[in-house]
Amino acid sequence: MIRRAIAWTVAGQVVSFAATFGMTVVLARILAPREIGMFAIAAAVSGVLQALAAFGVGTYVVREHQLTPAVLSTAFTINALTACLLALALLVGSTLSSITMGEPLVGTVLRVLALVPLLGIIEFRPSTMLQRDMKFSTISLITVGRTVVTAAVSIASALTGASAVSAAYGAVAGAVASAAAFAIVARRYSGFGLTLIGWRSMVVFGFQTLAIGGVAVIAFRLSDFILGSILGLVALGLYNRAAQLSGVPITNVYFSLSRVLFVKLAEDARAGRDITHSYLRGLDMMLAVLWPMLAGLALLSGPVVELLFGGRWLAAAVPLALLSIGQIVGLTYAMNYELFVLRDEVARQTRIETIRTILGLAVFAYCCTFGIIGAAFGRLIDPIIGMIFYLPQVRRLSGAPTRAFVKIYARNAGLTAAALLFPALAMIWTRDTVGVPYALLAVSLLGSGLCWIGVLWWMRHPLWDEVERLALRLRIPKRQVLK
């Protein structure tokens, strides 16, 4: 079941990645950096408020050993209340010039985005229960539909002159499509019963979750606001494109795989099984995919930005490289939150995350005074601080020895180096970090992919084992049909 869930999730994310990536490229071609910066400010405000409203009640439902109708109704009630408060806060914020920086379009974006959390109320119960029941094929199809609708409406709005509001219209359209799909496809899980039975334990868990994930998200969103205030909307627009591009692999691969693996780990924990093997295998496969992607993005940041966004965005190339390296560092302690939740040590992570986030935000604010490259360098320091805090905790919570992590890091570092060989040779040959001919770039990327596959096979990497199992399963039904 876990392999089928991962396969569906990965397949769905491939399509979602294509749609999101295409939207990012097209919007950058249509809109100016200042327009992107205006949306980024609104998204930062919305993100901060969403983080404050993120009580993690969905995670509570997924991990609950004995799920009763009362627990599900209470989770729905708390989620609905926080969504309504979030929508109200966005409406109020849209009227404050200190938040909108005096830009009327920023206020318009906030008012449009206020609809998204309200639509999320409809899909909370069906989406959460589908996740608990590991119905990831359904979730993936709906997610793909939402992403495609979001991208299509965003691009269409930009082409018709909606400017900074384009992506907000797309977000609302995607939320409508997602809510409708969940309500129809998973209607047996739908319901609007309101109750607060047993709310105390859920709220305590929610505040702990907020202090962990919420503080990090708040700091991340505040960093956009700080950068915009110090360096202006044009610089924020450039930095935002770099940050969004470096985050595409994380959003489309890491979050999807970690969601599936969390359900598997929770299932093992409920059954009293050891989670060490599942965690290490999941980490190994994550790094095999994400490290080469992010390292390639860092190495080819100049050609990538010039090819995708155009020459006016080239100032985002160095920030993109630094932010991608930061993502690589952060993956060394991947799925730390899930481990703290499973071991019921959320309070401990609350303290760690609060200290780490405060330090990271202070460093970022200082580095912003040196321009967008300084800001990106400040963002790189944040996961380094995270390594100091989290690596010992991840080893302890997973129950895995240090040598197991060293083996995984070394194996995937070698895999990443092999995958970068051809692109690095192409850049050395042309002696240019930006103007690599597109034909040569395409050939080097093809060679990179083939080299990556070959090294996976040579190493007998766990990811290769999973690919072989999947291929075998796909062949068996075909043979049966032929018989």
Residues 225, 241: Cα–Cα separation, whole Å: 15
**What SS3 state is found at 197?**
coil
Q: Is the pLDDT assigned to residue 36 strictly greater than 90? A: no
Of 120 and 53, more confident: 120
| Region 302-316 average pLDDT | 86
Q: Smallest Cα–Cα separation from 109: which of 22, 46, 67, 52?
A: 46
Residues 63, 44: Cα–Cα separation, whole Å: 30
**What SS3 state is found at 285?**
helix
Of 393 and 263, more confident: 393
Residues 334, 283: Cα–Cα separation, whole Å: 7
Of 89 and 48, more confident: 89
For the chain, the domains span 1-197, 232-483
DSSP letter for 311, please: G
C-beta atoms surrounding 160 within 10 Å: 10
Spatial neighbors of 141 by CB under 8 A, at least 6 apart, are 12
Judged by phi (left if over 0) then psi (alpha if -120 to 50, else beta), residue 418 lies in: alpha
The rounded percent of the chain whose pLDDT value lies above 90 is 30
Answer whether 415's CB lies under 8 Å from 361's CB: no
Residues 354, 373: Cα–Cα separation, whole Å: 26
Alpha-helix residue ranges (DSSP H) falling in 31-96: 33-53, 57-63, 69-93
Answer whether 376's CB lies under 8 Å from 366's CB: no
Q: Kindly report, residue by residue over 312-367, the tens digit of the pLDDT.
A: 888 999 999 999 999 999 999 998 888 888 888 877 887 888 888 888 889 999 99
Q: Where are the beta strands (DSSP E) in 193-293?
A: none
**What SS3 state is found at 431?**
coil
pTM of the model: 0.72
The count of residues in the chain is 483
